[in-house]
Amino acid sequence: MAARPLPNSFNKGIAIMLMNDKVAIVTGGASGIGQGIALAFAREGAKVAIADLNLEGAQAVAKRIRDAGGQAIGVAMNVTSEEEVILVSHSVIKNAW
Domain 23-94: give its CATH superfamily: NAD(P)-binding Rossmann-like Domain (3.40.50.720)
- List 51's β-bridge partners, or say none: 27, 75
Amino acid 20: pLDDT: 85
Amino acid 69: pLDDT: 94
Amino acid 59: pLDDT: 98
Kindly report the number of other CB atoms within 10 A of residue 82's CB atom. 9
Tell me the mean pLDDT per 10 residues along the chain, length 97.
50 63 94 96 95 98 96 96 95 82
Q: In whole angstroms, how large is the CA radius of gyration of the chain?
A: 13
Predicted TM-score (pTM) of this structure: 0.79
Amino acid 19: pLDDT: 83
